[in-house]
Amino acid sequence: MTQLPIIEMRGITKSFPGVKALCGVSFAAYPGEVHALAGENGAGKSTLMKVLSGVYLPNDGAIVVAGKERHFKHPLDAIEAGISVIYQEFSLLPERTVAENIFLGREPTRCGIVDRRAMETEARRVVALFGEAQHIEPDALVADLDVASQQLVEIAKAVSLDAKVIVMDEPTAALNETECEALFALVEMLKKRGTAIVYITHRMREITKLADRVTVLKDGWTAASYDHVPTPDTIVHAMVGRDIGDYYAEPATAQEIGALVLSVRNAGNDQLKNISFDIKAGEIVGFAGLQGAGRVALARALFGAAPFTKGEVTLAGQSARFQSPREAIRAGVGLLPGDRKGEALVLMQSVSDNGMLTARALSNLAGHDKATRFASTTSMDALLRQVDVRAGNFSQEIKSLSGGNQQKTIVARWLSLDPKLLIFIEPTRGIDVNAKAGIYHLMRELARKGAAIMMVSSDLPEVLGTADRVLVMRLGELAGEFARGATEAQIMLAATGEKVGAA
Amino acid sequence: MSSFARYRAAWRLERYAPALLLGIALLIYIAMALGLGQTRFLTPEAAVSILNRSIALGMTAVGQTFAILVGSIDLSVAHLISASAVVSSAIMDGNPAMMLPAAFAALALGAVVGTLNGLLITKLEVNPLIATLGMSLVIQGCLASFYGSFKGSVPDEFQIFAYGNLLGLPISLLVLVMLTLLAWLVLRFTRFGSNVYSVGGNRDTARAAGIKTARIVIASHVICSLYAALAGLYLASRLKSGSPWIGAEGAYDLESIAVVVIGGTILSGGKGGIWGTVAGVIIFSLIDSIFNLAGVDAFAKQVMRGIIIVAAVAFYAVRSKRMAA
Amino acid sequence: MTQPASMRNIAPARRRLQQINPVYFVLAVLIVAIAVSNPSFVEPTGYMNFLKRAAPLAILAAGQIYVIVSGGFDLSVGSLITLTVVGSSMLLNNNADATWWVILVMYVIGALVGLINGLVVSYLRVPSLIATLGMMITLNGVAFMWSSGSPRGYLPETFRYFGRVNIQGVPLIQFLPVALIALVMVGATFYWLMHRTNFGRMLHAIGDNPRAAKMSGVPVERVRVLAFMVSAFSAVTAGILLGGFAGVSTDVGIGYELQAITATVIGGAQLLGGRGSVPASIAGALTLTAIFTLLNFVGLPKPTRDVVQGVILIAAVVLATYRRNRTGT
């Protein structure tokens, strides 16, 4: 432990217009060690790593590499300093081959000509490090690979760079159990070679298994920093900053659960097979599973965005195989997408306009925009206040609001239409802890008022804490159903379809 | 992520789409020539003459491919072509000794315009359409202020570029083939070529991988402008004098973009290539020849041209999942 | 959320001032400059003539902004102007009685052009740049075909009335050019449609984020088609006015599509959609015309206009970007 760190970040501060993302955060990575960086979504982990990799310039603070202070103005500077980051959102080009992606921007050349053979040889060598089980051809298109293999290509890129520090941002999000084990073995191997690993995660199991040190971020601050691995409870407490007790809302009582709202029978499309389930009024049904298991596809199918091609769906007794979101919305379905910025918000418009969007969309095009059939600007203001959107005023651009307030605005958007079924996808992604509790209670309140709620989430504790019933999906099918009170291990077992050893 | 299966199938088809379109155009041409009994339009000489009609468009389009592949676009090529033609012929002014300086001046002009376009787009973050459109207006205005009409004249030696033959083939066609091969080599075999695709594919990803994206965009614009300047030199040689409206008349800005897109390069960048563009240029020449065979008048030809451009782009676009705007 | 301290400290009055679109200040300064360099401008005929000349471009910009806000471009408006002028002269054939139905026919053609543009962009997913470019080439060809390459003479007085005449002898609206009345009417209608209706809000939403708009139930295709139809309507209107004071030729409309886009950009519109205003676009068009007028007075040759327009276009975009980055909105 007397070693010098390979890199050290001191007092890093980074703010964006309207938001302070990092505030005086310090962090160090030592050779041959795994330093776990834990924190809730939106705590600033990814921002910190983007500062480290030169994507963002910090407003204040210093990065010290091998004793020398450095200023990374371009990602190239960080790469040359031996820092390699495996981003959560993939940084691969789908139209290019595996070898081309591994050597992106640093293709080996001979007399100015790209040496494709050298690229393929090296790509083969690096991929072989992952063991027998992985067959990735260097000349395969990345678009043709499955999610886990794409993840491996990412890692191969970092390994072939011979980086001194490798940052892995939630690397297991898309992996099944076997693939996770392979990844853990790889991390051990890199450790032995003296590489420093920064491992970003919020899964306690992985921290316990891999980490040598732990730093916890919360709301852009260093909440805690340990030179050892403390108990999961300690870490969680540091992450959340309060007791879990009142975090989730009370479950539904038997009287609160009402009539059948949604019924799906043997439905499917090219991504979904043989789906049958029901949701009743007043009930929150959680959908768990690995990334790509079909949960989002199911939500989009119900909403008409990627419709079912077979099977029967009824909503409150009416046939409900919608062919477009507009049809679904008319019939009383609402959806809050996981990718809020991409699929829900119109960022340049005001909070009020964002709230009114759907009410206006379903009204007469030539009608007055301040008083539609479904809501007026006055009633929308009341709704926004009711769901507790905090903004200077509702005519300011929604861009300047926090993730939690943006999400609540979208809840208000759907409330104005009084939907029968509300679908939440990753409802608390990128939302700070206190706002999270607000969203959970809001969901429960909606259910109590008689809405049926479908919740898709990758955050298992969240699913277990909020849902009255959990459905698990795997490979486009329903793979299990659990009443409230199931354990994480049971759910993971159903989600991966494998025996779990030490979960 | 899970829509890969469908996506892959569509991609594979798109890969061969330019060849397919070319085949269709060729079939129609042959069928018409045979149907009209005009077999003299099916000789190798006829093929060369069809190709030779599109030298300037070919050069411009090959350059434009770089701009579009890198995720940008260049609307200033038409007036740059005029400027290159006028400036070079004004410098030569009938004097064979001034041929080299004139060609050099035209290329230097191209390099300056390309650099300015690139700087506006990368450093000042101006939308490429607007940046090159503004540049285009500036060039046009300067040109009209300095040179009102035809300017200078081209010495006979320089006309060899447009009218000379070598090994039985027009020199201009050989030059175009060489320039095309050069562009292909650069895109396919150099690190710069790879970077053009990477930056066009996703600028943030390319930057995170350590690529100096601004340089790549600027260099692509310089290449685009250099090819346009060469097209201007060729037109000066063919017309024996520089005309300040030659570029705009040929609508080289819009036609070069249309040809690149018909060749399967996508407007948002990162996908496509030179051979598609070559196919696009030949398709355009063939369409022209088909209209000539059929005796369509010039105005109706223009109407058909507009419709065909849109139809060809729709052919690619309608299958893609992206939303157009 | 927490705002940067610098923003909180700005006095409210100054902040309100900052929120006013700078195009209005620029326009005011230019008008003063013109008045100083040419005193006759201050007389009613002086500024009325200015407004008369600016009206076609202003109307065109007010229509173009619909397509810009929706996230596209309409390059076909210049050729639609040409088609309107050439087509009217062919149909009228110097018969003054036909004026009204010819105007009607022109609007029908315009609606059809806008409809096709919109359908091609929405359903065939062709980028609007290419779609309207193809339309531009096609319409120019049609105008040539219709007139066999040599359009005939001039339009009858009844048709030229709209572009040329100032109202006379009627109290209150004395001296007002008919073109200005058209501008005010079109401007007011377009303002209402863009800023006071659900349609206007939908337009902003699809330009801002088409995927989010679709997922929120916006009829994206229908709204987009309507935007192109509004733009085409404005082009036909501008064509009728231009037919009044320009002659009949196949190059009346050349360059107008770029001037219209430049005007909206000067008016602070966000290219690729989501932000833009009808009055600011009209002010942008007046600004552009004022600059050209001023250059005329100063005695700069016509080609300089192109250079100036190019520089202004780029500068307006650079300044808008700078302004947005600085205020963080």
Q: What is the pLDDT of residues B107-154, one digit of tens each?
A: 999 999 999 999 999 998 888 888 998 999 899 888 887 776 666 778
- Would you kindly state where each structural domain of chain A is located, as residue ranges? 7-240, 257-334+461-497, 342-418
Q: Does B40 touch chain C (CB under 8 A)?
A: no
Given a cut of 70, whether residue A342 has pLDDT beyond it is: yes
Which residues, other chains included, contact C261 with Cβ-Cβ below 8 Å and sequence gap of 6+? B133, C64, C68, C73
| Nearest-angstrom CA–CA distance, C17 and C4 | 19
- Would you kindly state where each structural domain of chain B is located, as residue ranges? 10-317
C-chain residue closest to A338, CA distance: C212
The mean pLDDT value of chain C amounts to 86
Average pLDDT (B278-288) is: 90
3-state secondary structure string, chain B? CCCHHHHHHHHHHHHHHHHHHHHHHHHHHHHHHHHCCCHHHHCHHHHHHHHHCCHHHHHHHHHHHHHHHCCCCCCCHHHHHHHHHHHHHHHHCCCHHHHHHHHHHHHHHHHHHHHHHHHHHHCCCCCHHHHHHHHHHHHHHHHHHHCCCCECCCCHHHHHHHHCEECCEEHHHHHHHHHHHHHHHHHHHCHHHHHHHHHHHCHHHHHHCCCCHHHHHHHHHHHHHHHHHHHHHHHHHHHCCECCCHHHHCCHHHHHHHHHHHCCCCCCCCCCCHHHHHHHHHHHHHHHHHHHHHCCCHHHHHHHHHHHHHHHHHHHHCCCCCCCC
Which residues, other chains included, contact A307 with Cβ-Cβ below 8 Å and sequence gap of 6+? A269, A301, A321, A322, A323, A324
Q: How far is C217 from chain A (nearest CA, A)?
A: 4
Given a cut of 90, whether residue A497 has pLDDT beyond it is: no
Contact B194 A114 (CB under 8 A): yes
Sheet with A272-280, strands from edge to edge, namely A272-280, A260-269, A310-315, A318-319
| Nearest-angstrom CA–CA distance, C123 and B319 | 11
Supply the pLDDT for residue B66.
96
| Nearest-angstrom CA–CA distance, B122 and B36 | 53
Of C144, C258, C261, the CB nearest to B302: C144
Question: Are C286 and C259 contacting, i.e. CB atoms less than 8 angstroms apart?
Answer: no
Is residue A71 helix, strand or coil? Answer: coil
C-chain residue closest to B117, CA distance: C314
Cα C261–A357–A427 angle (5° rounding)? Answer: 120
Supply the pLDDT for residue A241.
67
Tokens of A281: 């009024």
Chain C environment of A335 (Cβ under 8 Å): 215
- % residues pLDDT > 70 (chain B): 92
Supply the pLDDT for residue C174.
67
Supply the pLDDT for residue A379.
92
Supply the pLDDT for residue B25.
87
Supply the pLDDT for residue B10.
45
Q: How many CB atoms lie within 10 A of CB A159?
A: 23
More confident residue, A30 or A499: A30
- Would you kindly state where each structural domain of chain C is located, as residue ranges? 53-327
Full-model pTM: 0.85
CATH 3.40.50.300 fits A257-334+461-497, yes or no: yes
Neighbours of chain C (3+ CB pairs under 8 A): A, B
Q: Which of residues 204-233 of B touch A (CB under 8 A)?
A: 204-212
Chain B environment of C139 (Cβ under 8 Å): 306
Chain B environment of C123 (Cβ under 8 Å): 318
Supply the pLDDT for residue C15.
61
Question: Are C7 and A392 contacting, i.e. CB atoms less than 8 angstroms apart?
Answer: no
| Nearest-angstrom CA–CA distance, A455 and C98 | 65
Q: How far is B169 from chain C (nearest CA, A)?
A: 33
| Nearest-angstrom CA–CA distance, C161 and C178 | 8
What would you report as the CA-atom Rg of chain A, rounded to the nearest whole angstrom?
A: 24
Of B131, B144, B297, the CB nearest to C306: B144
3-state secondary structure string, A264-330? EEEEEECCEEEEEEEEECCCEEEEECCCCCCHHHHHHHHCCCCCCCEEEEEECCEECCCCCHHHHHH
| Nearest-angstrom CA–CA distance, C6 and A501 | 56
Of A353, A356, A402, the CB nearest to C1: A402
Question: Are A286 and A466 contacting, i.e. CB atoms less than 8 angstroms apart?
Answer: yes
Q: How many CB atoms lie within 10 A of CB B203?
A: 20
- % residues pLDDT > 90 (chain C): 47
> What is the pLDDT confidence band of residue C294, given thresholds at 50, 70 and 90?
confident
Chain A environment of C222 (Cβ under 8 Å): 365
pLDDT digits over B7-64, tens only?
Answer: 444 455 667 778 888 898 889 888 888 888 777 777 888 888 888 888 999 999 999 9
Average pLDDT (C131-146) is: 90
Q: Does C299 touch chain A (CB under 8 A)?
A: no
Question: What's the CATH fold of domain A7-240?
Answer: Rossmann fold (3.40.50)
Given a cut of 50, whether residue A43 has pLDDT beyond it is: yes
Contact C141 B127 (CB under 8 A): no
Given a cut of 90, whether residue B215 has pLDDT beyond it is: yes
Given a cut of 90, whether residue A399 has pLDDT beyond it is: no
Alpha carbon C131 to chain centroid distance?
19
The mean pLDDT value of chain A amounts to 86
Average pLDDT (B77-95) is: 89
Contact C226 A345 (CB under 8 A): no
Q: How far is C168 from chain B (nearest CA, A)?
A: 40
| Nearest-angstrom CA–CA distance, B143 and B149 | 9
Question: What's the CATH fold of domain B10-317?
Answer: ABC transporter involved in vitamin B12 uptake, BtuC (1.10.3470)
Supply the pLDDT for residue B9.
43
| Nearest-angstrom CA–CA distance, A292 and B4 | 12
> What is the pLDDT confidence band of residue A487, given thresholds at 50, 70 and 90?
confident
Tokens of B24: 């269709």
Average pLDDT (A103-111) is: 84
Supply the pLDDT for residue A297.
93
Tokens of B72: 């940008």
Question: Are A58 and A51 contacting, i.e. CB atoms less than 8 angstroms apart?
Answer: yes
| Nearest-angstrom CA–CA distance, C326 and C329 | 8
| Nearest-angstrom CA–CA distance, B58 and C139 | 25
Residues in chain B: 325
Tokens of A338: 């996981």
| Nearest-angstrom CA–CA distance, B207 and B195 | 10
What would you report as the CA-atom Rg of chain C, rounded to the nearest whole angstrom?
A: 20
CATH 1.10.8 fits C53-327, yes or no: no
Q: Which of B220, B270, B276, B246 is nearest to B64 (CA)?
A: B220
Contact A144 B4 (CB under 8 A): yes
Instruction: Supply the DSSP symbol for C252.
Output: T
Contact A347 C209 (CB under 8 A): yes
pLDDT digits over A204-251, tens only?
Answer: 788 888 899 999 988 788 888 888 888 877 887 787 765 555 678 788
pLDDT digits over A375-386, tens only?
Answer: 898 999 999 998
Q: Which of A125, A130, A123, A127 is nearest to A186 (CA)?
A: A130
Given a cut of 60, whether residue C4 has pLDDT beyond it is: no
Contact B140 C303 (CB under 8 A): yes
pLDDT digits over A118-139, tens only?
Answer: 888 888 888 887 766 667 888 8
Question: Are C258 and B137 contacting, i.e. CB atoms less than 8 angstroms apart?
Answer: yes
| Nearest-angstrom CA–CA distance, C10 and A218 | 31
Average pLDDT (A102-128) is: 85
Of A18, A367, A401, the CB nearest to C328: A18
Supply the pLDDT for residue A221.
86
